[in-house]
Amino acid sequence: MDLSLSRLLPPDGLSGIDAAAARIARAVDGGEAILVLGDFDADGATGTALAVSLLNALGADRVEYLVPNRFAFGYGLTPEIVRVALEREPALIVTVDNGMSSVAGVVLAQESGVDVVVTDHHLPGKELPPACALVNPNASGCEFASKALAGVGVIYYVLSRVRAILVEDGFFKRRGLSSPKLSNWLDLVALGTVADVVPLDLNNRILVHQGLRRMRAGGARPGIRALAQVAGRSMHTVSAQDLGFAIAPRLNAAGRLSDMTAGIRCLLSTETVEARRLATELDQLNTQRRDIEHDMTMDATLLVDESHMEHRSVICLYDASWHQGVIGIVAGRIRERFHRPVIAFADAGKAAPGELRGSARSIPGLHIRDALDDVAARFPGLMVKFGGHAMAAGLSIKRSQLDRFTKAFSEAVEARVSERDLAGIRVTDGELEPSDVVLENARLIAGHGPWGQSFEEPMFHGDFEVIAERVVGQRHLKLTLRHGDTVVDAIAFNHGPVGADRIRALYRLGVNDYSGMETLQLVMDDLEPVVSRHT
């Protein structure tokens, strides 16, 4: 429970960090042009903003950034995006949250006389890019104790070592500069770490906790403050849940529907007025994203034959009208409903005619990236490319190979999971007495976070009498419940009317600070009728 910065893992165990930091420090000291090549999700956006702003604070004179448009270039340092990068004449390209699978892109850059430093956290493939330095806690032989660092965490560690090198070389004294305080960038690290849903091991919990502390104390940058404002969240009480469910989706909306440049500009903004304007644009994009997601999820649900679900180990879905930037969310929604690993596909578009881009979401007990690796080993060439983590992955296939891929993927999953894995068993911390369902306990739980992936917030179950229910925000169910002699409010996100006198629910104790007044609110993770009003 000790989340002080003194317990943060030292960077020494990160293989390749010395070579990477030395090359970046040389570029800073020599006034070389540095190009940061980011990713189009919230982890990539926060990591890119951190790299650009911290490099500037370290004294770099020529720093630019470039993030591929997912619809035109796809993911990572592809040869196509390298050709765009070369027009800016960089001496050094530093990747953030990508690069491990960019063999061809790194080769092209280095053949063109541009050094590449890869910083990434995705699982490596069989062939590594020939970069001048590669830093990834998941690289083979890396002894760093935390394999769960997000991309923004990796670049934070790398640039902390760059600062140490510049201090040792007397760079700041020679230039008459102050050495930047690294804690000033922890708000970005916290946001990117939570947004990428990486496991909150002790090291990540320290990073997130310290970032949240800085935000609550007024130290968040204008862009994050503006995103919180348009999301209706208070920075004085901001939590990991606020980062994950309110701020990050608005940042992610830029990369999903348009171009992540707007999100990065918001994070880099030093002016409150500009940050609010950009945050408002992102909020509008997020509203569009929600509408698209709702329609696609409805379509996807109709495509799934529930009557035969017990005979299926996977769900692979495709519709020609689906938006490529939203398929990951849809895959997650269908996974939650049917408790099967899900891959949702959309057309790749002009970037790769005849190809489908897939976004995969897994279930506990299945390492989905390894399952895709099994497919690649058995059927070379069936996938154009793939990569990812245990719980989420991305891939590309030819449209004509969808049926063949679905069969191969199903066989790979069946070899790795048991019936119990597919049963959708939920584990809770038990039932609470009515006297324990109080605001004080909700505050205690909130105060012992940050909660998140692999460090789950306590979940309880119980039966409740339904006093009243109504739909709010078009998609969410607001409930008034009775538990013994206790009457309490509850919210079930993305849930329609339940139409029952009694329900059984899985829930968390939440603190609702609407209008500045804290009240208890049960946050429903799942619910089902016990006594229907029609019986």
What integer pLDDT is reported at residue 307 of this predicted model?
Answer: 58
Q: In terms of C-beta density within 10 A (0-12 exposed, 13-18 middle, 19 or more buried), how is residue 179 classed? A: middle
| Coil, helix or strand at residue 491 | strand
The percentage of the chain sitting over the pLDDT mark of 70, rounded to a whole number, equals: 98
Tokens (6 digits) for 307: 């009557």
Of the options 2.130.10.10, 3.40.50.150, 3.10.310.30, 3.90.45.10, the CATH number for the domain spanning 304-414: 3.10.310.30
Q: Are 50 and 167 in contact (CB under 8 A)?
A: no
- Side-chain half-sphere of 339: how many Cα atoms within 13 Å? 14
Mean pLDDT in residue range 26-37 = 98
Which pLDDT tens digit goes with each residue over 42-92?
Answer: 999 999 999 999 999 999 999 999 998 877 777 889 999 999 999 999 999
pLDDT, averaged across the chain: 93
What integer pLDDT is reported at residue 399 of this predicted model?
Answer: 96
Tokens (6 digits) for 323: 């938006």
Cis peptide before 450 (omega within 30 of 0): yes
Which pLDDT tens digit goes with each residue over 317-335?
Answer: 999 999 999 999 999 999 9
Mean pLDDT in residue range 100-116 = 95
Please, which residues have CB within 8 angstroms of residue 318's CB and are 6 or more apart in sequence?
A: 344, 345, 346, 356, 402
User: Could you tell me which CATH number the domain at 434-532 has?
Assistant: 2.40.50.460
pLDDT band at 425 (very low <50, low <70, confident <90, very high): confident
pLDDT band at 533 (very low <50, low <70, confident <90, very high): low
- Of 521, 526, 477, 533, nearest in space to 505 by CA: 526
CATH class of 5-178: alpha beta
pLDDT band at 103 (very low <50, low <70, confident <90, very high): very high
Please, which residues have CB within 8 angstroms of residue 359's CB and are 6 or more apart in sequence?
A: 327, 328, 330, 331, 343, 344, 392, 393, 394
Which pLDDT tens digit goes with each residue over 211-233?
Answer: 999 999 999 999 999 999 999 99
**pTM of the shown model:** 0.90
What integer pLDDT is reported at residue 308 of this predicted model?
Answer: 64
Tokens (6 digits) for 390: 């245990």
pLDDT band at 388 (very low <50, low <70, confident <90, very high): confident
Which pLDDT tens digit goes with each residue over 145-200?
Answer: 999 999 999 999 999 999 999 999 999 999 999 999 999 999 999 999 999 999 99
What integer pLDDT is reported at residue 532 of this predicted model?
Answer: 62
What integer pLDDT is reported at residue 4 of this predicted model?
Answer: 95
What integer pLDDT is reported at residue 213 of this predicted model?
Answer: 97
CA distances from residue 131 to 48, 86, 110, 116 in whole angstroms, order as listed: 19, 16, 8, 5
Which pLDDT tens digit goes with each residue over 109-151?
Answer: 999 999 999 999 998 888 999 999 999 999 999 999 999 999 9
Task: Give the least confident one: 187-196, 267-276, 307-316, 459-468.
Answer: 307-316
Does pLDDT of 351 surpass 70? yes
What integer pLDDT is reported at residue 412 of this predicted model?
Answer: 96
Calpha distance 390→370 (Å, rounded): 7
What integer pLDDT is reported at residue 189 of this predicted model?
Answer: 98
- Of 345, 353, 395, nearest in space to 371 by CA: 395
CA distances from residue 485 to 44, 76, 186, 437, 533 in whole angstroms, order as listed: 49, 56, 44, 11, 22
What integer pLDDT is reported at residue 513 of this predicted model?
Answer: 80
Does pLDDT of 305 surpass 80? no
Mean pLDDT in residue range 429-451 = 94
Domain boundaries, the chain: 5-178, 304-414, 434-532
| Coil, helix or strand at residue 325 | helix
Buried-exposed string 304-314: b where 16+ CB fall within 10 A, e elsewhere: beeeeeeebbb
Does pLDDT of 306 surpass 80? no
